Structure 1
């Protein structure tokens, strides 16, 4: 059984929990082997690509059960978005039992992601059947454990949304802008052509203040996109 749903996420300025990197785990119970794999992703397309890659890697597995929580736009549940720059988005929550009894695999896997309050994440649990039926309860516990253990291997971190800002100024103002950016401790790159362009990667919560500071220091001469 396959299910997907959407639930409201934050307004694009709040921090959120996700996994830092890929995590893998495996264990056996009553003859069946379970392999949990989890990874950070930004889009639905990226999540589904990851699932397909795992399925291709484990073509001999009895089941490959996926689950993910990824932001999408409010006007469609299939359009991919950058969660660090979108202010009106929903979390798409997807899971599939992949042939296991209804509600015994995908839902328990997704529930772990929900209970851990992590997003921008995809999980897959690979099962090799061991000739012993585990029952719905046993399957639910095994799939939950696989995702939980994989999260532990991947490490949970808190992410602060960022966005890209471009500031263009004349050469006379470039030193002033560079000084502001260094004082604000933000990442940036500068290119010097007919004018000076600063490509800035800044926390969403600090964008307005930084732009106001630049405009004030340059008496409104800076062009900000």
Structure 2
């Protein structure tokens, strides 16, 4: 599976209608809906803002008033055919006054997303695991260095009676990282089960 490194836009004009496509990484439905709302705000005069999402088993397609099955689903199929995950495709349409028909709409939305994907940098999808633990102050630096050496990224640090650290680590190294931290922590680390 692949995902995208960063957002990419492309524009297609079909019989005077403008189709502005954006493909970008997205973690899930909540993030997708925020992006769609931002696109609506950015393009208040647009006739439609259609979208498709593939993210961690979540998929969604929205035609936003276009005839059923002519926008969102075809866009979703483009993402599936390219073996993408964690990706949102949005297409903003400005109606040009000429009706395209169902087939024309499917081709226009599909082409807009495909054009954006042509210029997108595709990267292997890396699944991550959340690791949260309490660490005595004297071990904080050592734990941070070891986590970084395993490719984990610090997401949160809170300092109270102990230091609470939250990391995201690549799924394929998470178990080894946890074992290594237990080893250097000598029984002083407390793992958050969540």
CA deviations on 1:133-190 (whole Å, 9 max, x unpaired) are 3222222111001111122333222231223324444466567646644653544587
Whether contact under 8 Å (2:151, 2:170) holds in the other structure is no
SS in 2 for 1:27: strand
Partner of 2:109: 143
RMSD: 2.8
Aligned to 1:64: 49
2:86 paired residue number: 120
Tell me how far apart the structure 1 counterparts of residues 33 and 163 of structure 2 sit (CA, whole Å). 40
Q: 1:183–1:93: structure 2 CA closer, same or farther, 3 Å change rule?
A: closer
Deviation at 1:105, TM superposition (A): 1.7
Shift of 1:215: 2.1
Match of 2:168 among 201, 213, 217: 201
Range that drifts further, 212-221 or 134-143: 212-221
Structure 2, unaligned stretches of length 5 or more?
Answer: none
Partners of 1:182 and 1:96 in 2: how far apart? Answer: 40
- C-alpha change, 1:101 and 1:204, in structure 2 (3 Å) is same
**Aligned-partner SS, 2:119:** helix
More helix by share: 2
Q: Deviations over 1:79-112 (max 9, x none)?
A: xxxxxxxxxxxx2322222332332222111111
What is the CA-CA distance between 1:65 and the residue it aligns to? 1.6
Unaligned runs of 5+ in 1: 1-15, 72-90
1:127–1:201 CA distance, 2 compared to 1 (3 A): closer
1:98 alignment partner in structure 2: 64
1:171 and 1:103 map into 2 onto residues whose CA distance is: 57
